[in-house]
């Protein structure tokens, strides 16, 4: 080797999955996707979804036992060591004790996401992961429709689709709308996706409006593919009808069923309740910044997962304005259960700095990889997901992990998975085959 020849580390060789291992990965993903719908609490913070999370992880490692590499284990150990050291510091400084259930949950999330990355990158598991989403999405649609029927039948204005929180329901429904576009096959994926997105608006959460602009872009990407794949005049007319329905549905619903869509009122209403809610969210983020900078230990090691409300209440930070703005939220802060209402803010505050930086690196890596792979649907979703979780806490729920599973599954792939040259000029192709425009 000459001095001018750079030394390059050989890449990890890809190991093909056996049919049994691939099926096991698909089953584990399906368990996670469906388990994320079941947020019913069993005891304290432990919910049915956490049981599904554990089961999915067991099935994943039973299918491919040696997924983690030594560097992964070292990183996980360093993250846990940082959290434990932070627990000692916040105990001495604020008389706050670590919440072990949050640490256990995040440890499982980290192990799962690293394993999904390794399975995709080193075992070519994208098809197996995709198949798991494909199995679970239709079942999830039926389940949410049933839950929506129960909510509407009860006459409640707080439609949660079986979740503890309306915003959790809306964000996961939005993800399933994007996942339907990306992972399902055939032209019906447009209809299924639209059904999920409409259900997101049937909650009173404002978060679907954050996803709406990028969802339109993602929908148009898949519409072009459906239009390009048209083989008969019927296929072309179906594509046109679906697009027209997508445009007209919001107008019809706004005119005929406005009472069901309370989310519209919350977005466009400038009443006292809406203003107070926005102010409370911004105050919590402001307090998080102050708490992060309060001392060197908080800055470097964080205040332990789930420690925001408990540590903030015991700190010297003046929270009287929040108490007067949101009295119920202040009561939750006293109990140590109030969330920060920002996933990014929670990760930056509560975790050691190297974990927080790695999360930002993960986001940047995913954006670059999705762009290079021309995975437009998941790229648009990631942009909307990142924006939505800037002002809402989603990281404590399994659906946050499931969403990142879908992102990593397509981002870590070495090349575009659905690179269809017909998409480059769909009208000419479809016209040549069918004679219909």
pLDDT higher than 90, residue 382: yes
pLDDT higher than 60, residue 252: no
- Please choose, from the candidates 28, 371, 66, 182, the residue with its C-alpha nearest in 3D space to the C-alpha of residue 196: 182
**Percentage of the chain surpassing pLDDT 90?**
49
| pLDDT tens per residue across span 21-70 | 999 999 999 999 999 999 887 777 788 899 999 999 999 999 999 899 99
| pLDDT tens per residue across span 300-316 | 999 999 989 989 989 89
Can you read off the two tokens belonging to residue 224?
Answer: 């072009």
Query: Who contacts 205 (Cβ-Cβ below 8 Å, separation ≥6)?
Result: 166, 167, 169, 170, 171, 263, 266
Report pLDDT for 418: 47
3-state secondary structure of 88: helix
Supply the pTM of this predicted model: 0.85
Q: What phi-psi label fits residue 159: left (phi over 0), alpha (psi between -120 and 50 degrees) or beta?
A: beta
> Average pLDDT of 394-413?
93
Model confidence at 436, pLDDT cuts 50, 70, 90, reads very low
Write b or e for each residue in 187-223: b if 16 or more Cβ atoms lie within 10 A of its Cβ, otherwise e. Answer: bebbebbbbbbbbbbbbbbbbbbbbeebbeebbebbb
Report pLDDT for 39: 83
Q: How many residues does the chain have?
A: 437
Which residues is 41 bridged to in the sheet? Answer: 47
Model confidence at 220, pLDDT cuts 50, 70, 90, reads confident
Report pLDDT for 301: 94
Residue 181's CB is within 10 A of a number of other CB atoms, namely 27
Query: Residue 295: phi, psi to the nearest 5?
Result: -155, 170
pLDDT higher than 50, residue 1: no
pLDDT higher than 60, residue 434: no
- Please choose, from the candidates 279, 273, 284, the residue with its C-alpha nearest in 3D space to the C-alpha of residue 338: 284
């Amino acid at each position: 080797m000459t001095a001018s020849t750079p030394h390059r580390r050989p890449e990890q060789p890809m190991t093909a999955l056996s049919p049994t291992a691939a099926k096991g990965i698909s089953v584990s993903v399906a368990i996670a996707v469906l388990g994320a719908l079941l947020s019913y609490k069993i005891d304290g913070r432990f919910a049915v979804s956490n049981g599904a999370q554990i089961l999915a992880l067991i099935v994943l490692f039973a299918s491919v036992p040696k997924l983690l590499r030594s560097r992964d284990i070292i990183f996980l150990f360093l993250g846990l060591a940082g959290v434990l050291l932070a627990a000692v510091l916040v105990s001495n400084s604020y008389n706050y004790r670590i919440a072990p259930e949050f640490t256990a949950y995040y440890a499982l999330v980290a192990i799962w996401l690293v394993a999904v990355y390794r399975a995709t990158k080193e075992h070519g598991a994208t098809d197996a992961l995709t198949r798991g989403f494909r199995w679970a999405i239709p079942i999830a649609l039926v389940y949410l429709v049933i839950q929506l029927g129960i909510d509407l039948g009860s006459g409640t204005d707080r439609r949660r689709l079986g979740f503890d929180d309306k915003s959790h329901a809306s964000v996961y429904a939005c993800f399933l709308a994007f996942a339907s576009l990306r992972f399902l096959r055939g032209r019906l994926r447009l209809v299924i996706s639209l059904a999920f997105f409409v259900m997101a608006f049937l909650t009173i959460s404002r978060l679907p409006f954050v996803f709406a602009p990028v969802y339109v872009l993602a929908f148009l990407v898949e519409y072009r593919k459906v239009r390009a794949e048209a083989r008969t005049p019927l296929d072309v007319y179906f594509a046109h009808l679906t697009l027209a329905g997508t445009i007209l549905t919001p107008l019809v619903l706004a005119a005929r069923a406005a009472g069901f869509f309370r989310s519209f009122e919350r977005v466009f209403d400038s009443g006292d309740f809406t203003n107070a809610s926005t102010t409370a969210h911004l105050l919590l983020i402001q307090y998080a910044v102050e708490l992060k900078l309060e001392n060197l230990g908080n800055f470097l090691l964080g205040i332990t997962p789930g420690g925001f409300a408990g540590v903030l209440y015991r700190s010297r930070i003046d929270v009287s304005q929040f108490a007067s703005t949101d009295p119920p939220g202040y009561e939750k802060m006293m109990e140590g259960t109030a969330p920060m209402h920002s996933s990014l803010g929670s990760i930056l505050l509560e975790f050691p700095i190297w974990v927080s930086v790695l999360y930002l690196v993960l986001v940047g890596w995913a954006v670059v990889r999705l762009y290079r792979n021309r995975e437009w649907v998941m790229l648009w979703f990631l942009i909307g997901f990142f924006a939505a979780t800037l002002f809402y806490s989603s990281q404590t729920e399994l659906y946050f992990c499931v969403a990142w599973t879908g992102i990593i599954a397509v981002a870590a792939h070495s090349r575009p998975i659905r690179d269809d040259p017909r998409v480059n000029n769909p009208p000419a192709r479809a016209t040549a085959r069918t004679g219909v425009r």
